[in-house]
Amino acid sequence: MPISQKVRDIQTPKVVDGWNLVETDTALAFPALIKHLASEHEKILWIDSSNQANTHYFESRPELLEKIYIARAFTALQHQQLCKNIGEYDLIVAQEIDRLYEESTLYRTEAVELFEDMLK
């Protein structure tokens, strides 16, 4: 079964304005969420901190590719700066937002401080 079919078959969670926590066992939930909400949003930012953002999920819907911007961070500091300097987007999807802070080589207090600042 192609990836795009698997994405279509995943149930998407309800999303309200503001922050929404989505807990899932599959990385395919985020592309499914983006596909589901794309008709309501013109400019979508997908912040990737775990190297899972992939445009192949949208191969069957090339019009979505024009709406999706992918930003990748490889360190906690990069992620924090990326999140603090976000421009105007209609929808922002940021999966595993705590991963880089948890795995950081920074002192624990510094990592927590960066994480809390990122959320502001």
Helix (H) or strand (E) holding 71: strand 68-72
Beta carbons within 8 Å of 89's beta carbon, 6+ residues apart: 43, 44, 45, 69
What's the whole-number average pLDDT of the chain?
83
28 or 93, greater pLDDT: 93
The pLDDT value given to residue 4: 45
55 or 14, greater pLDDT: 55
Q: Which of 6-10, 14-18, 40-44, 93-97 has the lowest mean pLDDT?
A: 6-10
What is the Cα–Cα distance from 45 to 68, expressed in whole angstroms?
Answer: 6
Of all residues in the chain, what percent carry a pLDDT higher than 70?
Answer: 85
Token pair 């709406």: residue: 67
pTM: 0.77
Per-residue pLDDT tens digits for 79-117: 999 998 888 899 888 888 899 999 999 999 999 999 999
What is the Cα–Cα distance from 115 to 77, expressed in whole angstroms?
Answer: 9
The pLDDT value given to residue 62: 86
Residue length, the chain? 120
Q: Where are the domains of the chain?
A: 3-119
Burial of 78 (0-12, 13-18, 19+ CB in 10 A): middle
